[in-house]
């Protein structure tokens, strides 16, 4: 199955999200992926309720042409929301986004994707659950669907991964 097919299959399954971090000490670099999402809005879950709401902070910049953004140090411990805006955000795989949607990533993630969104949904629905437990549930959902994939692939930049297929 190719990566685009993997993404479609994973979206049809349960809903949940990601891990890992990359930092230069002052900021973290995160990438928004459905295809890479360019010119998407960025929000930080400062009230830590794992839901995009009026209490959250919109960052001053949007994602760049490769879907990347820099998360300032003071927000590293919070979930991040990437809001794709119809007619503004460009999905590098499919073109201009036709309908608004939001992807979430838990604190410390290096990507915000449909899979990381699944993790955030698990965490929001199960307040006592750890991020590791939520990630495990997501991996189990994906593998139960018949796909054999690594955590590194599904919680990472699956578009940049050199292995063109998942089994």
Strand partners, 31: 68, 111
* pTM, to two decimals: 0.79
* Phi, psi torsion values for 59, nearest 5 degrees: -75, 155
51's tokens: 């839901």
pLDDT for the residue numbered 27: 63
pLDDT for 62 equals: 97
CA contacts within 13 A on the Cβ side of 138: 32
Task: Give pLDDT tens digits along the chain (167 positions).
Answer: 444 444 433 433 333 333 333 434 556 889 999 999 999 999 999 999 999 999 999 999 999 999 999 999 999 999 999 999 999 999 999 999 999 999 999 999 999 999 999 999 999 999 999 999 999 999 999 889 988 877 787 888 888 876 544 44
Structure-block tokens of residue 141: 């959902």
- How many whole angstroms separate alpha carbon 96 and alpha carbon 80? 22
Q: Tokens 């809903």 appear where?
A: 15
pLDDT of residue 162: 60
For residues 135 and 151, the answer to whether their CB atoms sit within 8 Å is yes
Helix 114-125 with 3-12: angle, nearest 10 deg: 20
């Amino acid at each position: 199955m190719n990566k685009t097919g993997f993404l479609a299959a994973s979206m049809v399954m349960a809903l949940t999200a990601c891990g890992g971090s990359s930092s230069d000490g002052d900021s973290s670099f995160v990438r928004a992926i459905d295809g890479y999402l360019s010119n998407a809005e960025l929000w930080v879950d400062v009230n830590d309720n794992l839901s995009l709401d009026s209490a959250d902070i919109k960052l001053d910049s949007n994602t760049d042409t490769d879907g990347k953004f820099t998360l300032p140090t003071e927000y590293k411990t919070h979930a991040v929301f990437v809001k794709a805006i119809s007619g503004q955000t460009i999905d590098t795989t499919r073109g201009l986004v036709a309908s608004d949607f939001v992807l979430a990533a838990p604190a410390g993630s290096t990507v915000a994707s449909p899979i990381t969104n699944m993790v955030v949904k698990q965490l929001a629905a199960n307040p006592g659950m750890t991020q590791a437990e939520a990630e495990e549930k997501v991996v189990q959902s994906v593998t139960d669907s018949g796909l054999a994939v690594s955590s590194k692939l599904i919680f990472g930049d699956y578009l940049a991964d050199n292995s063109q297929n998942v089994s």
